[in-house]
Amino acid sequence: MSSALASPLVRYGIGAASAAALLFLAFTAAEGPTRWFLVLLAAAEFLVTPRILEYAAEG
């Protein structure tokens, strides 16, 4: 039985969802340098999370 993490759609979906949450927080609750830090963190989350989940799915 394969893991749900084996699907690229699931991996990128998880990264996109958490990045969207960070972006929502950045543009509704933060200002100044904190906002840009959250935007940077969201970009890193979107790019790195799927790769980490891919390694986790491999085993």
Q: How do residues 35-57 score in pLDDT, each as one tens digit?
A: 999 999 999 999 999 999 999 88
pLDDT digits (tens, 9 = 90+) for 7-35: 889 999 999 999 999 999 999 999 999 99
Sorting pLDDT into bands at 50, 70 and 90, what band is 1? low
Report yes or no: 23 and 37 within 8 Å, Cβ to Cβ: no
Separation CA 52–CA 59 (nearest Å):
11
Separation CA 12–CA 25 (nearest Å):
20
